[in-house]
Chains A and B, each alone.
Chain A
Amino acid sequence: MKVTRLSKTHISVQKLNVFYEGHHALKDVTVDIPEKQITCIIGPSGCGKTTLLKSLDRLIDLTDNVEVTGRIVFDGIDVLDKQVDILDIRKRMGLIAQTPNPLPMSIYDNVAYGPRIHGTNNRKELDQIVERCLQVASLWNEVKNRLTEPASKLSAGQQQRLCLARALAVRPEVLLCDEPTSALDPISAGHIERQLFALKQDYTIVFVTHTLRQARRLADYVIFLYLGQLIEHGPTESMFTQPSDPRTKAYIAGTFG
């Protein structure tokens, strides 16, 4: 049996409601996300998984006509407070998107982009950051001799690892992953999974997935959303073996979703 470490809360979501042009996408979601563990958000498509994830660093603001109420307390700061320095919050929460989305620049510049916009311009320092992050993402050996090449020349799997390195380059505390392996082949997906698993030593990871097996493999903690509602949350083992809500039971049994 998996031993669940006792962990303190890193992000506390309180009574979160999200409306897209009148559509009630998230309903009164309240959940605590533990520090330095992998928390998987599961549920059938359209249940609000990505919405919840993108509320955490307020990337949801980029969407038109969206209204968010409630509180998301991260390190004592209410992320949803409009006065908050959201750029700093986003710097502290990295994002790995569903499909690899490198920036239109070289491999090196992709990783150096974050540190640069946050004021690191020393070439030596940047070199070190780039090498370190690419190594953590286990991409360094494949690209060390072609750092000036366009990032678009890499394969999809390599691009996703580059995106991981890019996210790590600004030294975040949290990694938000939006089904980061769904667009990849099984081998590349395995790479990413193993890296994230290793990274939970140092990072709080929130991972959206619609693959139950992936959640079971990776997660320490599971959040189950259904039709915008938080149905159940808890440690992975108990969620999969003794779900208390009939809807969780049905979803895990594969009756729907």
Chain B
Amino acid sequence: MILSVIVVLGSLVSVLVVILVKGAPALTVSMLTETSTGGYYLGGKGGVLNAIVGSVYLVGGATAIAVAISLPTALYLNEYASRSKLAGFARQSLDILWSVPSIIYGVFGFTIMVYFGIRASLLGGILALAMLELPIMIRAMDEVMRMIPLKLKESSYALGATKLETALNVIARQALPGVTMGVLLAVGRAIGDAASVLFTAGYTDSIPRSLFDPVASLPLAVFFQLATPFPEVQQRAYASGFILLIIVLSLSVASRLLTKKATAYVIK
């Protein structure tokens, strides 16, 4: 058991250390505060602010959409259609969607966008990432809600509560820590995903001004910088990767702190 803890912690720490060591020389303030300039990928001036902001926009939008769809879906699967054939079919489909490689979502999104004549844009990226997040969120929330004991629901129904009241007031609250975990899981996958935004969101050196502008993202920034032959630009790739990791870590910590108070009410 101690061994497995060492393996898990060790890999996290070693990833962090490698990225930090390789990226440290490039980790400057301008990296965080400036957008890329024309010669940036040749070693010129600038930073990856465009990619940082882009990733936040993309994942923020996608997560908002995905949560808005996932929460009602998971509640429906559990409280209204729990053991029906429809629910079984939905769960199976979601499990398959979960394991679909993200490039497929990218290509699928791209095909649809071509059909409607939309070019690579923030909107396209948000929708592709939302599709990527949906199965993860729904299934994670679904599993947590399935664990809620019947007697807890019973105590709500016994007071004359409707299904909806029980779902919103009792089940959603009891499931909150698990729901948060599901959202984090999905955000983690979406923010680090390069393949699904490659075709749908495109890449740009500027910060998008509307939903229809193309947008940069951190994973693609890492990819493009690493693909250059210049060591100083490659260092920036590691630095960008480090920024990405810090964003994910701080999201995780922040959400834990935010839900800490609400989690205290959960019945164990």
Contacts and interface: CB of A to CB of B under 8 A. Distances in A.
Contact of A104 (B83, B154, B159, B267): B267
Interface string B146-166: 000111111111111110010
A163 B151 CA distance: 12
B185 interface: no
A165 B154 CA distance: 16
Interface string A111-129: 0011001100000000000
A66 interface: no
Contact of A95 (B158, B174, B267): B158
A76 to B, nearest CB: 19
A64 B83 CA distance: 9
B239 to A, nearest CB: 43
Contacts of A167: 158-159
A104 B263 CA distance: 9
A45 interface: no
A62 B153 CA distance: 9
Contacts of A151: 265, 267
A62 B266 contact: no
Contact of B265 (A95, A105, A118, A166): A105
Interface string B162-181: 10010001100110000000
Interface stretch (A8-16, A83-91, A188-196, A202-210): A83-91
Contacts of A62: 150, 153-154, 157
Given A99-B151, A101-B152, A91 B265 contact: no
A166 B159 contact: yes
A94 B158 contact: yes
B154 A59 contact: yes
Contacts of B2: none
Contact of A152 (B149, B150, B155, B266): B266
Interface in B219-268: 264-268
A167 B169 CA distance: 17
Given A64-B83, A117-B165, A152-B266, A103 B152 contact: yes
A93 B267 CA distance: 24
Given A62-B150, A62-B153, A62-B154, A105 B159 contact: no
A79 interface: no
Contact of B173 (A59, A64, A90, A105): A105
A150 interface: yes
A147 interface: no
Contact of A101 (B155, B165, B169, B264): B155
B163 to A, nearest CB: 10
A113 B159 contact: yes
Contacts of B265: 104-106, 150-152
A106 B154 CA distance: 18
Contacts of A93: 158
B154 A97 contact: yes
A57 interface: yes
A137 interface: no
Nearest to A89: B160
Contacts of B158: 57, 59, 90, 93-95, 97, 167
A47 interface: no
A170 interface: yes
Contacts of B174: 104
Contacts of A163: 155
A163 to B, nearest CB: 7
Given A59-B154, A152-B265, 4 more contacts: A62-B154, A87-B162, A90-B157, A105-B173
17 contacts: A59-B154, A62-B150, A89-B160, A91-B159, A95-B155, A103-B155, A104-B152, A104-B170, A104-B265, A105-B169, A105-B173, A113-B156, A114-B160, A117-B162, A118-B160, A151-B267, A163-B155
Interface of A: 57, 59, 62, 64, 87-91, 93-95, 97, 99, 101-106, 113-114, 117-118, 150-152, 163, 166-167, 170
Name the 8 nearest CB pairs between A and B, nearest first. Answer: A91-B160, A95-B158, A114-B159, A90-B160, A150-B265, A104-B174, A87-B160, A104-B173
Interface of B: 83, 149-162, 165, 169-170, 173-174, 264-268
